[in-house]
Structure 1
């Protein structure tokens, strides 16, 4: 695991399993918020790192693909800690529908309750949620406005210091994903864009 301090409040934890898979820890006045949970095998390392920083208050998901929700059960203490995602992702993460361009539904998330995003609660913790569909129907990015960090999930990848399109094989609608990426960068001017599968891009 590699720790990358993106700003005073935002740390990226980067794991390598053939590709880079990342999660983010956001420190706030009440404790620590985790964005994405990675795979279940990462849970112990993530829990240990959170313990150095503060008490985990909630887990927020950029979307519901397995490499983003695999550690939810362990990290949420089997649902005792709130887990939130854009409500458009709910049928997919509970296995009720298959993601677009997928033949079958994925294995349901390993806890009983996932709540829709609480925009007001996120704002209190310094984050703005931006709906960025395309990679998945409810894909969401999170912007720490005060510190200029865009936590991009799978909206982008990166190569040689430049933002790239998301991974085609796992993107439901590439044209829509490209528009979402362009649109969000027209609304905000981040200092750094932090993708899940790639190095951070400083703008």
Structure 2
């Protein structure tokens, strides 16, 4: 690999109800290889798998890496645009890679994806190589965020998105428990990071300040009702 400090977002575009959407997965380097955070998008009928795999492989190639460099795959939560090609990714890795997810989402991921391998459950504070787990339930029961402490980077998952440079909550139809998700967002907003990487949407400047203002504005609007 050409960059031992690699954090590379992989953008995967897809159609949902005729809308053009995108989701990011991420390659994160550690001393002995790469972690893949999330595993692309696929429809129930399997469409979209080829494009997701192509985009992940292209990211490996541009970083002078290959499938064999992936030591671990972490799924941030049990939604199809985050585990869509999990089975296919693991099949491409010549050695036995470790698959991880928030403990409360493990069974849901296995049931939806039909992944037959083991998925190890993650809890608050658990590490996978250089990434630390933050338990952030609400969007799903086992949703997690991940922190690269050395690089001061937070991987947000679907706790909050960005849209045209502004923070935006995920659609309520995709969030299991909105009140719990809000508590998780408040928890994350108390921490400090130099960068925040979003599964949906691009990076924004001063992300922690933006997140705290976003929550303050939401609380003010709630109080005015």
- Which of residues 131, 148, 154 is equivalent to 1:150? 154
Would the alpha carbon gap of residues 126 and 82 (structure 1) be closer, same or farther in structure 2, given more than 3 Å must change?
A: closer
After TM superposition, the score normalised by the length of structure 2 is: 0.74
Using the TM superposition, give the Cα deviation of residue 121 of structure 1 relative to its aligned residue in structure 2, in angstroms.
Answer: 4.5
Number of residue pairs matched?
184
After TM superposition, the score normalised by the length of structure 1 is: 0.81
Bigger relative contact order (CA 8 A; separation at least 6): 1
Aligned to 2:205: 202
Aligned to 1:93: 109
Secondary structure of the equivalent of 2:91? coil
Using the TM superposition, give the Cα deviation of residue 174 of structure 1 relative to its aligned residue in structure 2, in angstroms.
Answer: 1.3
TM superposition outliers: structure 1 runs of 4+ over 4 Å: 118-121
1:115-169 CA-partner distances (Å, limit 9, x unpaired): 22386552xx321110000000000000111112111111111124332212222
Using the TM superposition, give the Cα deviation of residue 199 of structure 1 relative to its aligned residue in structure 2, in angstroms.
Answer: 1.3
| Structure 1 position 111 matched with structure 2 position 123 | no
Q: Which runs of 5+ in 2 are unaligned?
A: 15-19, 42-48, 207-225
Aligned to 1:139: 143
1:48-89 CA-partner distances (Å, limit 9, x unpaired): 422423611010110121111111111111783221111111
Using the TM superposition, give the Cα deviation of residue 28 of structure 1 relative to its aligned residue in structure 2, in angstroms.
Answer: 0.7
Q: Which moved more, 1:80-89 or 1:128-137?
A: 80-89
Would the alpha carbon gap of residues 72 and 143 (structure 1) be closer, same or farther in structure 2, given more than 3 Å must change?
A: same
Structure-1 separation of matches of 2:205 and 2:89: 30
Task: Tell which structure's C-alpha radius of gyration is larger.
Answer: 2
Aligned to 1:103: none
Secondary structure of the equivalent of 1:84? strand
Structure-1 separation of matches of 2:199 and 2:101: 16
Q: Check conservation: 2:155, 2:197, Cα contact below 8 A.
A: yes
Q: Which runs of 5+ in 1 are unaligned?
A: 96-106
Higher-helix-fraction structure: 2
